[in-house]
Amino acid sequence: MRTADTPEKLRLQVADLPRPLILVPTMGALHQGHLALIRKAREIAGSTGSVAVSIFVNPIQFDRPADLAAYPRPLADDLAQCQAAGVDLAFVPASGSMYYPDRSVTVTETLLSKHLCGATRPGHFDGVCTVVLKLFNLFQPEAAVFGEKDFQQLAILRRMTRDLDVPVEVVGLPTVREPDGLAMSSRNVRLTAEHRADAPRIQRALQGVLSLLRCGERSGDLFLARARKHLEESPFLRIDYLELVDAETLQPVGRIQRPAVLATAVFYGDVRLIDHVTLCP
Ligand code: AMP
């Protein structure tokens, strides 16, 4: 496996990688969710194409400095996992090599980022769009694979590539979960044992509303109330947001008449976890 730790070295490596080149952008602390993306990338690249992974804890997408400082960075283990998964090129930019100190251009999405994580994490999606566009420009991949776990991020990146004519196909993959239903996340390792045992409630609270849907219920308030009650039964978590939005526009909906997404972010201590469920009428 090749590695590069600056954009300049990366460009040289990318120049002689066989095409198609499929990119999996990550912040590291790799788990089975990331590995599923890497397998998908290999499937698209085929045995003669190339799979690249970027591992970069992107400072400009963090709204809380403590979250950035505490983000796990098991780099040696990540590289071993990439190697074992058959990755051809790992890009691990040294801190400071990705952004010019006087950088003054940022990508801003103005509609899909209004609610959900965009509302509670100011500037987060500007940071995501900016780093992903930079990675797309550096790698010039044919396609890039992202997780549906971060469904707002996926929708925004699809919109970015469409609106800015970025010639990269954005591929989404379903959320990979622990056996007890908790969505895999690099942040899960920071949960205390008590919090980890409680956390599968997030998915259960969201899935719990599906019975209302099957009974013909369509009122958004009822779905939100049912899920909120289940989440609030936890003595540990604090709800950051719980919202029902249209699956395409990501704007809040009062009734479920088209596919909608019930999404939440919760805090266990200072560890923030997200999950969602799609509701089809
Ligand atoms: P991260 O390292 O958390 O920034 O995530 C890198 C990529 O992995 C993003 O496209 C995420 O959506 C995706 N991802 C993270 N967790 C999961 C999961 N549990 N299942 C599927 N994809 C995931």
pLDDT, one tens digit per residue, over 165-187 is 999 999 999 999 999 999 999 99
The ligand 1 atom at the shortest distance from the C-alpha of residue 175 is: 20
Structural domain boundaries enclosing 258: 186-276
The ligand 1 atom at the shortest distance from the C-alpha of residue 150 is: 12
Last residue of a domain, one of 147, 173, 199: 173
Backbone angles phi, psi at 241, to 5 degrees: -155, 155
Residue nearest to atom 22 of ligand 1 (CA): 147
Tell me whether residue 281 is in a domain.
no
Last residue of a domain, one of 140, 173, 206: 173
Q: Is 176 close to ligand 1, i.e. is its CB under 6 Å away? A: yes
pLDDT, one tens digit per residue, over 67-115 is 999 999 999 999 999 999 999 999 999 989 999 999 999 999 999 999 9
Give the number of domains in the chain: 2
Cβ atoms of 153 and 166 closer than 8 Å = no
Domain shared by 268 and 168, yes or no: no
Q: Which residues are designated catalytic?
A: 34
Domain shared by 11 and 140, yes or no: yes
Nearest C-alpha neighbor of 241 from the set 119, 66, 111, 64? 119
Give the residue carrying structure tokens 């003595």. Answer: 235
The ligand 1 atom at the shortest distance from the C-alpha of residue 153 is: 12
Interval between CA 30 and ligand 1 midpoint (Å): 9
Domain shared by 21 and 123, yes or no: yes
Domain shared by 193 and 99, yes or no: no
CA distance linking residue 163 with residue 174, whole number of Å: 24
- Cβ count within 10 A of residue 58: 21
Domain shared by 134 and 14, yes or no: yes
pLDDT, one tens digit per residue, over 195-230 is 999 999 999 999 999 999 999 999 999 999 999 999
**With pLDDT > 90 as the criterion, what percentage of the chain qualifies?**
100
Domain shared by 259 and 144, yes or no: no
Domain shared by 219 and 147, yes or no: no
Cis, bond preceding 20 (omega within 30 deg of 0): yes
Q: Is 149 close to ligand 1, i.e. is its CB under 6 Å away? A: yes
